[in-house]
Structure 1
């Protein structure tokens, strides 16, 4: 079974309140992450028609701060479907409601897994790729997964060779005090 991406896309907007701010008066990143996780869950659950759990979050870069009083809009869309998992792309934008100025605050990718009532993984419907953008996003998800797998293998503790990575550390803000015999 295959479903159209647009059928499970979700957009939510929320006014940022003082209770959402950190000590510097900007909206707390943890609060935004919570909203992102909620919309990813809603999008994945809507697509799969099952309860979903977050398996991983890929790359959360906060590009622009969000101020109290701004309207934050989150958009979620299924970018990739595997057998039981989905990659949900989440975009966060803020808008100054007085000036109308909009800022892209971050984009991230949530891997969500569909579960049955007993907590077992269940197959999810595939997605219909009907635009250049949807094919780009699907392909990008595959590439991101392959890079993550390679990164994990390169730094596997039993395979890791210090000598292969010392050049990376040389001009960084770190000092090595390590006795290889211990």
Structure 2
């Protein structure tokens, strides 16, 4: 299977934050941000694999600053690394003041997706070819994040087996 450039899966999404999207502080609900992140990451993974996908893990969603009512939420996601059937996706979330044009980073996230065939079984995915310095930076750190994921999973399994 031939590799695909990171740019082939890149996905950008922008929406306006309105009062029903916000809490009593006038900032977007964290759960809404999580839903946007998962949606963008799903599109990225499907574009890369050209297959149905499922979210296997969400390693992190680090909130950096709030997004206020009236600002735009801007998400950008891309594939950072692939294994046989899984893909790591990075999503960056920014807020944009639509009156001034000022943008600021508000959250970052890494998620893992598994590609599925027509019978719901894991299927092979293309490797990824990073091009920009940012893409290469995420690619170079992917194996360490993969190891951390596996350690967390194993520790969870051990705790569960001890409680039986």
1:157 maps to which residue?
Answer: 159
Unaligned 5+ residue runs, structure 2?
A: none
Unaligned 5+ residue runs, structure 1?
A: 161-182
The change in CA–CA distance for 1:117 and 1:19 in structure 2 (over 3 A counts) is same
Structure 1 stretches (4+) deviating beyond 2 angstroms? 129-136, 147-160
Q: How does 1:115-130 map to 2 (within 5 A)?
A: 115-130=116-131
TM-score (normalizing by structure 2): 0.89
Cα distance in 1, alignment partners of residues 152 and 53 from structure 2 = 26
1:45 maps to which residue?
Answer: 46
> Which structure is higher in RCO with an 8 Å CA cutoff and minimum separation 6?
2
Q: How does 1:51-130 map to 2 (within 5 A)?
A: 51-130=52-131
TM-score (normalizing by structure 1): 0.81
Cα distance in 1, alignment partners of residues 150 and 57 from structure 2 = 13
The change in CA–CA distance for 1:147 and 1:22 in structure 2 (over 3 A counts) is same
Which has a greater percent of strand? 2
SS in 2 for 1:80: strand
Cα distance in 2, alignment partners of residues 145 and 57 from structure 1 = 12
CA RMSD, aligned part only? Answer: 1.8
Number of residue pairs aligned between Structure 1 and Structure 2: 160
